[in-house]
């Protein structure tokens, strides 16, 4: 197992990254898909999870 850096700077960096990921996830949850462009081929439907 690799050692974990518990220094104040390392913890602060990890907290900032988690905060950024949280904001990204919340933004993606609110986002809507882009409308289809006129004349463009429709995109295939997403595959169901296994």
Q: Between 39 and 24, where is the model more confident?
A: 24
Residue 36 lies in a domain: no
pLDDT at 42: 67
Quote the number of domains for the chain. 1
Residue 9 lies in a domain: yes
- Residue 28 φ/ψ, nearest 5 degrees: -65, -35
Residue 10 lies in a domain: yes
Residue 44 lies in a domain: no
Q: In sequence order, which residues have a C-beta less than 8 Å from that of residue 47 and are 6 or more positions away?
A: none
Residue 13 lies in a domain: yes
Range of the domain at 6: 1-30
Overall pTM > 0.75:
no
Residue 46 lies in a domain: no
DSSP state of 7: S
The per-residue pLDDT for range 26-49, each reduced to its tens digit, is: 999 999 887 777 666 667 778 888
Residue 1 lies in a domain: yes
């Amino acid at each position: 197992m690799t050692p974990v850096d518990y220094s104040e700077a390392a913890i602060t960096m990890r907290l900032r990254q988690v905060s950024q990921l949280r904001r990204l996830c919340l933004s993606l949850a609110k986002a809507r898909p882009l409308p289809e462009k006129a004349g463009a081929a429709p995109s295939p439907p997403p595959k169901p999870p296994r």
